[in-house]
Amino acid sequence: MPFFMSQINVQTGYDLDMSFDGSLKAFPSVREHYEAMVQAGDVDKDPAQLELTDLYDQLITAICNKRLSRKSSALGWLFGRNKQTQTIIQGLYVHGEVGRGKTMLMDMFFQLLPIERKRRAHFNDFMADVHDRIHAHRQAFKNGTTKIEDPILPVADALSEQAWVLCFDEFTVTDITDAMILSRLFAALFERGVVLIATSNVAPDNLYRNGLNRQLFLPFITLLKQYVRVINLDSRTDYRLEKLDLQPVYLTPLSDDADRQMDEAWEAQKAGAKEEQAIIRIKGREIIVSRSVAGAARFSFDELCAKPLAAADYIAIVSQFPTIFLDHVPVLDLAKRNEAKRFILLIDTLYDHHAKLFVSAEAAPEKLYIARSGTEAFEFDRTASRLFEMQSAEYLAAVEPV
């Protein structure tokens, strides 16, 4: 598999004079590594992607220069935060349609960035972490172990201490709680010198479009555009769909035959073991998994998408069950907008954690959501693309065996 897998997290132990293992060792720049991939036939040369590699290389230089200037100052550690706020490095916000290479190029940048305090995460995972930290701080205040009531600044302190370069894949905002937190949290992070790099399917001005109380979210968009350079990655095609060798893990239309094939695949997964009920406990709640066996779980669509589950719930599920069977996904319309939101979030989570997915659905991925208005109609293009890719032989070959 290529080096740019999507589950990279906090990296430690990197320094400016380090060398890299594997395919990156001989390539000191994003552009050089990209051009080597083109020469090897791993990717097709794309002018928009090539231009973006230069921007990533410029950003690496700026970050390294800032790090060196801080370390060279005799008072750098004492006055480090003030120096950070005086020297603003503008990050990158790369948006475009699905399959254009946004994640691939950001992951090249992340791997080649030779600093210790960096973090790469799916944005939903990051926000789940933020909510956990906020909850823990509020409990600490309630228990009297801290006198600071507002959790935002302590959470920003902890996050910036862990990583001052943040790389987010699939930056999107659909939850009102996230929307209300983001402006204050990122104002504090940027004040602490954090550099943001993000990929998204939507331009900043379209984030949280049609969301509840969106006017309260608009200051975040203004803030974001001050601290990132916005790039629209216009490429000629969805590269992920060019070389797919689809496997029979997505069954459509719904029928007795589809049910039979799902049952046969489930029996093969069980391999003679007895299925059991499992309980996942998260934040004082319980998620009942009625059918599970040896790292795999089977759900109906309603169990995962008609109930009020959130990103943290899906992360907890896939962390325990890296193989998911999902029965009877219906065609979704505007009347099922909430179910569509959860389905989009579910597929994002499974894809980012490289889960193996078996599905029976009423229609092909690109025909599952038929409403043409609302944010979900736009975001579902990504979901359809990922559902196609998750059927590919290459994707399935990379899934860790259960």
- 129 pLDDT band, cuts 50/70/90, is very high
Name which residue leads in pLDDT, 372 or 11. 372
- 258 pLDDT band, cuts 50/70/90, is very high
* Pairwise CA distance, residues 59 & 55, whole Å: 6
Q: What is the pLDDT of residues 365-379, one digit of tens each?
A: 999 999 877 778 878
What's the mean per-residue pLDDT of the chain?
85
pLDDT of residue 6: 31
Give the residue from 205, 222, 239 where a domain finishes: 239
- 138 pLDDT band, cuts 50/70/90, is very high
Q: Are residues 163 and 266 in the same domain?
A: no
* 6, part of any domain: no
Least confident of 34-43, 78-87, 391-400: 78-87
pLDDT of residue 188: 96
Tokens of 53: 């590699």
* Pairwise CA distance, residues 37 & 34, whole Å: 5
Name which residue leads in pLDDT, 196 or 373. 196
* 300, part of any domain: yes
* 1, part of any domain: no
Q: Are residues 272 and 374 in the same domain?
A: yes
**The residue to which tokens 């991925």 are assigned:** 365
Evaluate if residue 275 carries a pLDDT over 50: yes
Q: Are residues 106 and 205 in the same domain?
A: yes
189-216: average pLDDT: 90
* 9, part of any domain: no
- 400 pLDDT band, cuts 50/70/90, is low
Question: Could you list the residue range(s) of the whole structural domain that residue 313 is in?
Answer: 243-398
284: domain CATH number?
A: 3.40.50
pLDDT of residue 21: 39
Q: What is the pLDDT of residues 50-59, one digit of tens each?
A: 999 999 999 9
- 41 pLDDT band, cuts 50/70/90, is confident
Q: Are residues 37 and 103 in the same domain?
A: yes
pLDDT of residue 97: 79
- 131 pLDDT band, cuts 50/70/90, is very high
Name which residue leads in pLDDT, 80 or 362. 362
Least confident of 15-19, 283-287, 292-296, 354-358: 15-19
- 201 pLDDT band, cuts 50/70/90, is confident
Give the residue from 221, 239, 257 where a domain finishes: 239
* Pairwise CA distance, residues 353 & 208, whole Å: 24
Q: Are residues 258 and 217 in the same domain?
A: no
* 394, part of any domain: yes
pLDDT of residue 371: 87
* 112, part of any domain: yes
What pairs with residue 326 in β-bridges? 299, 359
- pLDDT above 90: percentage of residues in the chain: 60
What pairs with residue 121 in β-bridges? 168
Residue type, position 263, single letter: D
Q: Are residues 271 and 182 in the same domain?
A: no
Evaluate if residue 235 carries a pLDDT over 80: no
Q: Are residues 254 and 356 in the same domain?
A: yes
* 61, part of any domain: yes
Question: Which residues lie closer than 8 Å to 166 by C-beta, 6 or more apart?
Answer: 118, 119, 121, 126, 159, 189, 194, 195, 196, 197
Q: Are residues 199 and 265 in the same domain?
A: no
> What is the torsion angle, in degrees rounded to the nearest 10, for the CA atoms of residue 298, residue 300, residue 301 and residue 302?
-130
Q: How many domains does the chain have?
A: 2
Q: Are residues 137 and 249 in the same domain?
A: no
Q: Are residues 273 and 181 in the same domain?
A: no
177: domain CATH number?
A: 3.40.50.300
Evaluate if residue 1 carries a pLDDT over 80: no
Instruction: Look at the alpha carbons of 39, 40, 41, 44 in this order and tell me if their dihedral is positive or negative.
Output: negative
* Pairwise CA distance, residues 293 & 402, whole Å: 10
Question: What is the Cβ-side half-sphere exposure of residue 64, based on CA atoms within 13 angstroms?
Answer: 17
Q: Are residues 331 and 374 in the same domain?
A: yes
* 10, part of any domain: no
Tokens of 27: 């390539």
- 244 pLDDT band, cuts 50/70/90, is low
Q: What is the pLDDT of residues 278-324, one digit of tens each?
A: 999 988 889 999 999 989 999 999 999 999 998 899 999 999 999 99
Give the residue from 239, 256, 291 where a domain finishes: 239
3-state secondary structure of 54: helix
- pLDDT above 70: percentage of residues in the chain: 85
What pairs with residue 257 in β-bridges? none
Q: Are residues 227 and 248 in the same domain?
A: no
Evaluate if residue 112 carries a pLDDT over 60: yes
